[in-house]
Amino acid sequence: MIHNVSIKNLGVIHDFSTDRLSNINLIIGENGTGKTFLLKSLYASVKTMEQFHRGNNRRSVQDLLAEKLRWTFQTETLGELVTKGEQDGLSFSLMNDGTDFSFSFSKSAAVKIANVSSLEEQRASNSIFLPAKEIISLIPVILRSRDVDQAFGFDDTYYDLAKALQIKPHRGKNYKTFADSRLLLQNIVHGKVDYSEENQSWYFVNSRNQKFSIDTTSEGTKKIAILDRLLANGYLSPSSIIFIDEIESALHPKAIYDFLDIIEKLAFDMGIQIFIASHSYFVIKKLYLIALKRKQSVMCYSMNGNEKAAVSDLRDGMPDNSIIRESVRLYEEEVDQTL
Amino acid sequence: MRENVFLTESGMTFGPFDADCFYHIEKAEEWKKLYDNGCKISECVVYRRNKNAWLSIEAKTTLANPHSPLDGGESFRNEIEEISEKLENSLDIFLKARLCNYTPEGFEQIDFRNAETVFVLVIRNHQYDWLINVTEALNQEIQRQIRFNRLWNVRVLAINEETAARYGLVTRSEQQGLQPGSGF
């Protein structure tokens, strides 16, 4: 679990730091305030720690990190990640389960990073990033563009997820929370997604065992089915970290509500740390209710562009934020129209 | 000069209202006799000429927490049901009074074909974001009945004293000119 983070001069993020991370961490803010950048920087760092000395891989942490950052953010040079106009360069540090990891580079950095903290050992887990858009229908294209064409287009969040989804569901015992969560996920979409080796294609099978081409399946269904697959194939474990960008995208509010119930289980029953970026009032409200119900902290970071992020604990109440203010504005408009 | 009326309820001073456009249901003797069987009603009905809207107003000092850890929100739901019942009864009583010409003159001007029917719950001390939840909960409860969502197209609002004052439904103590409680 990540316990603290400090970031300076990463894209639009001038200065972000926290030592109050919890099992569920919500990132909110208007478009362009750095929500996805924050998630991706954490993801790239954690994946570097997980890939370091994995199996027979003996690549240096500097090389792994440089490649991960380039392919996650898809910049020609690493220096493009440094906030424009800042002379000091980018610095990043986090502490994960007692292990410190940090790096820094200037705007002149090309494809190498000189200053990276050393790692003693691999972080033994698999973390994953769930992007806003579903990717099941794009898996062949994603893999081709990366494995064959080696071209920018689908960043590493998509590529890593595509690779993870290719792992077959394993037979035998699963964690109870994962098994329960899978049932709930399958209830939301009334079925599940699977891969046919024979046809070399993905398909959706509903609760009546009817099969449908993945292309005729809704985006929301595919998105939910992704998590089901990851819980089935052993990719995730209690020490995984899950990053979810725009969790509400393509999901009906009821599906968001049910999906977050599952997130609650994974986070508080399984101990998986989860970072969620959202624009949705429903998401904030539901996570606030989860914090109250569980009597646990759900930290909320409201990104404010040039200013420091506002930090609050949803256990203490709904945060003041433009998403809330918009719903209040609608209410005020209704009052004004009526009275 | 038109007579102004005020009504004090739940620690709030409602008004000033034009007496011709104010119907204090609780004090209407004709209806007290008929409905003295514990029928719950709202405080009053007010006709807003400028909006061609007639408002059934209920006042409360406070409301239960919908997310109370003590009872899972049961008290809140019970209160919403009760408020809804009051507003529904008041609609019936008011309309009957209007049909029988027992309401003040001002109500004769209501163009019922185009008038808005509004249920307003005024909760004295409530934050905005809580009011949104209350509005939605009350709206859901009211709209369960076809006569509200089809026949009368009722609009539902939950507001606090501050908002009520801003829209002239309530006079706050620093604003008062006339004596409160001078309604009938």
- ipTM of the complex in this document: 0.78
Q: How far is B38 from chain A (nearest CA, A)?
A: 31
Residue A6, token pair as written in the block: 């400090």
- For residue A334, the chain B residues in CB contact (below 8 A) are 135, 157
Q: A with B: how many residue pairs have Cβ under 8 Å apart? A: 35
Q: At what angle are helices A253-264 and A176-189 packed, to 10 degrees?
A: 180
d(CA A334, CA B116): 13
Q: How far is B30 from chain A (nearest CA, A)?
A: 30
Question: Chain B window 17-46: which residues touch A at a Cβ cutoff of 8 Å?
Answer: none
Note the pLDDT of residue B181: 34
- On whether any CB of chain A is under 8 Å from the CB of B134, the answer is no
3-state secondary structure of A277: strand
Contact (CB<8Å) A339/B128: no
- On whether any CB of chain A is under 8 Å from the CB of B135, the answer is yes
Query: Which residues are within 8 A (CB) of A204 and not within 5 positions of it... i.e. 6 or more apart?
Result: A191, A192, A193, A211, A212, A213, A214, A216, A217, A221, A222, A225
Q: Does the pLDDT value for residue B113 go beyond 90?
A: no
Q: How far is B40 from chain A (nearest CA, A)?
A: 25
C-alpha B69 chain-centroid distance: 30
Contact (CB<8Å) A328/B116: no
Q: Does the pLDDT value for residue B2 go beyond 80?
A: no
3-state secondary structure of B58: strand
DSSP string, B114-180: T-EEEEEEEESS--HHHHHHHHHHHHHHHTTSHIIIIIS--EEEEEEHHHHHHTTSEE-GGG--SPT
Under a CB-based contact definition with an 8 Å cutoff, are residues B61 and B125 in contact? yes
- For residue A329, the chain B residues in CB contact (below 8 A) are none
- On whether any CB of chain A is under 8 Å from the CB of B163, the answer is yes
User: What ranges do the domains of chain B cover?
Assistant: 4-175
Question: Tens-digit pLDDT profile for chain A (339 aa)?
Answer: 999 999 999 999 999 999 999 999 999 998 899 999 999 999 999 999 999 988 888 899 999 999 999 999 999 999 999 999 888 899 999 999 999 999 999 999 988 898 999 888 888 899 999 999 889 889 999 999 999 999 889 999 999 999 999 998 887 788 999 989 988 888 888 988 888 888 888 899 998 999 998 888 888 888 888 999 999 999 999 999 999 999 998 888 888 899 999 999 999 999 999 999 998 888 998 999 899 889 999 999 999 877 889 999 999 888 877 777 888 888 889 889 888
Note the pLDDT of residue B183: 28
| pLDDT interval class at B120 (50, 70, 90) | very high
- On whether any CB of chain A is under 8 Å from the CB of B155, the answer is yes
- For residue A335, the chain B residues in CB contact (below 8 A) are 157, 159, 163, 167
Share of chain B above pLDDT 70, in %: 85
Among all chains, which residue has been given the structure tokens 């997130």? A263
- For residue B69, the chain A residues in CB contact (below 8 A) are 292
Contact (CB<8Å) A331/B116: no
Please tell me what DSSP assigns to residue A137: G
Stated as kind and residue range, the H or E segment containing A7 is strand A2-10
- On whether any CB of chain A is under 8 Å from the CB of B118, the answer is yes
Angstrom CA distances, A230 to A187, A211, A238, A258, B102, stand at 16, 20, 13, 18, 70
CA pseudo-torsion sign B84, B88, B93, B98: positive
Contact (CB<8Å) B131/A331: yes
- Total residues belonging to chain A: 339
Chain B CA closest to residue A330: B132
d(CA A269, CA A267): 6
d(CA A160, CA A201): 19
Residue A49, token pair as written in the block: 């720690």
Residue B160, token pair as written in the block: 């606090």
d(CA A328, CA A332): 6
d(CA A101, CA A92): 8
